[in-house]
C-alpha cells in the first residue's frame, strides 16, 4: 500500500481499517440528519459502541453526497482496544495504550519538521460543485441537538487559513453551522490562531482566503486540534509525526493548499465585516447555554470539491467522554 494511503494518512483507508477492526457498523436504512443521527452518535459515544457509518441520508443528492461517519475518534468497549480509534489516527496498532499514543506525539514534537509536498491533483478533486450547483441548506448537514442554533456541518473538519504574507499556514478545528445556501457562520474567538490570522487580514482590509477540509488524514486532524505555538505549521508537525511529507493540493479559488485526499473541501473566504448569529450549541459538558446567539463571522463557500461517495465525519458533543475532550486533553499533554 502506498504510504499516502495508510489509515493515518487517508481518511477513506482509516474507515476501511476500522471495518477490519470490527469497529464500524454500516447503516443502510435511510436516517434523518435532523436529530436522529445526532441521537445515534451520542448513544454510540456513551456506550463505547462501534462507530456508525450512515450510508443513506435524507437529503442526499442523486449521487449520494454525502455519507456520515459518527464518533470518528471516541472510545471502544473492548478494554484491549479502548483507544483503538485514537491509535489508528497516529498509525499505531489499535491495541496501543495511552502511554504509547502520548509517546508518539511527544516524539514528533522533538523531531525535525517535514514540510508537506504539493501535488498536481488528488482524490479531493474527483467531483466539483460550483455556484448554483449546491445549496448548503438542502444538503444533509446534521442538527445534532434540539436546542442547537442551526445545522452544525463542521465538527470534525479543519479550517485552513494563511497569514497575508504567506509565512504562516494554520490548520485548526472550530465549529461552524450552515447559514444559508452558500454561507457558513462559525466561531472565531480570541486567542485562537484562526482569530489571529483573521485580524491580520482585517488590518489589510481584505476578506480572509479560507478553506474547510472534511475527512482529512486522521494524523492531520490530530495536529489541527493541537495548540501548537503561533507561527508553527500543523502540516510540518504531521510530517514529523508520520516521518514523511503529507501530500497537499492547491485550491481552485485561492492560493491555499489542503490535504490531497480530503473527502470534502469547501473553498472561499471569511468576511472581515459581515457577521451573523451563531449558536447556541450543545457543548462538551452536556449542556446548552441558554440565551442569545453570538455574532460570528460569515464564511462564503465559492466551490465544493469532493471524492466520489464522500464521507463527512461528525463529532457530537455531550457528556464526557467524546472526541472533544479526548483529543484536547491528549494534545495539551503532548505539548506541555
Quick check: 281 and 145 in contact, CB under 8 A? Answer: yes
How many other C-beta atoms are found inside a 10 Å radius of the C-beta of residue 110? 7
Q: Which of 77, 92, 79, 97 is nearest to 25 (CA)?
A: 77
Handedness of CA 183, 189, 193, 198 (dihedral sign): positive
In this structure, what C-alpha cell is assigned to residue 69?
Answer: 461517519
What percent of the residues of the chain are helix, what percent strand, and what percent coil, each to the nearest 5? 25, 25, 45
Distances (CA, A) of 218 to 112, 263, 318: 20, 12, 22
**Using CA atoms, how far apart are residues 189 and 297, in angstroms rounded to an integer?**
10
Q: What radius of gyration, in Å, describes the C-alpha atoms of the chain?
A: 18
DSSP string spanning 293-319? PEEEEEEEEEEEEE-TT-EEEE----S
How many Cβ atoms from other residues are within 10 Å of residue 286's Cβ?
11
| Annotated catalytic residue within 49, 252, 283, 302 | 283
Q: How many CB atoms lie within 10 A of CB 20?
A: 11
Tell me if residue 267 is catalytic: no
The catalytic residues are 283
Amino acid at each position: 500500500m502506498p504510504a499516502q494511503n495508510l489509515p493515518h494518512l487517508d481518511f477513506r483507508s482509516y474507515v476501511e481499517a476500522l471495518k477490519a477492526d470490527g469497529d464500524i457498523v454500516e447503516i443502510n436504512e435511510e436516517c434523518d440528519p435532523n436529530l436522529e443521527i445526532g441521537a445515534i452518535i451520542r448513544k454510540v459515544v456513551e456506550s463505547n459502541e462501534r462507530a456508525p457509518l450512515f450510508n443513506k441520508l435524507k437529503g442526499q443528492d442523486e449521487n449520494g453526497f454525502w455519507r456520515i461517519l459518527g464518533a470518528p475518534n471516541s472510545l471502544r468497549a473492548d478494554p484491549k482496544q479502548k483507544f483503538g480509534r485514537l491509535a489508528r489516527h497516529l498509525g499505531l496498532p489499535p491495541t496501543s495504550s495511552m502511554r504509547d499514543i502520548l509517546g508518539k506525539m511527544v516524539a514528533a514534537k522533538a523531531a525535525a519538521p517535514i514540510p508537506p509536498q504539493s501535488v498536481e491533483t488528488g482524490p479531493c478533486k474527483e467531483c466539483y460543485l460550483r455556484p448554483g450547483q449546491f445549496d448548503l441548506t438542502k444538503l444533509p448537514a446534521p442538527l445534532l441537538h434540539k436546542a442547537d442554533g442551526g445545522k452544525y456541518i463542521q465538527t470534525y473538519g479543519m479550517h485552513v487559513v494563511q497569514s497575508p504574507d504567506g509565512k504562516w499556514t494554520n490548520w485548526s478545528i472550530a465549529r461552524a453551522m450552515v447559514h444559508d445556501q452558500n454561507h457558513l457562520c462559525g466561531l472565531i474567538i480570541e486567542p485562537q490562531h484562526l482569530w489571529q490570522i483573521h485580524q491580520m487580514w482585517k488590518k489589510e482590509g481584505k476578506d480572509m482566503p479560507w478553506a474547510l477540509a472534511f475527512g482529512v488524514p486522521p494524523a492531520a486532524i490530530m495536529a489541527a486540534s493541537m495548540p501548537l505555538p503561533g507561527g508553527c505549521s500543523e502540516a510540518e508537525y504531521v510530517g514529523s509525526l508520520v516521518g514523511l511529507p503529507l501530500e497537499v493540493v492547491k485550491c481552485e479559488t485561492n492560493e491555499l493548499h489542503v490535504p490531497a485526499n480530503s473527502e470534502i473541501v469547501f473553498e472561499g473566504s471569511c468576511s472581515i465585516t459581515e457577521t451573523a448569529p451563531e449558536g447556541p450549541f450543545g457543548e462538551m459538558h452536556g449542556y446548552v447555554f441558554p440565551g442569545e446567539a453570538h455574532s460570528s463571522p460569515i464564511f462564503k463557500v465559492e466551490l465544493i470539491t469532493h471524492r466520489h461517495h464522500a464521507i463527512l465525519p461528525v463529532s457530537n458533543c455531550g457528556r464526557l467522554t467524546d472526541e472533544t475532550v479526548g483529543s484536547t486533553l491528549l494534545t495539551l499533554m503532548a505539548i506541555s
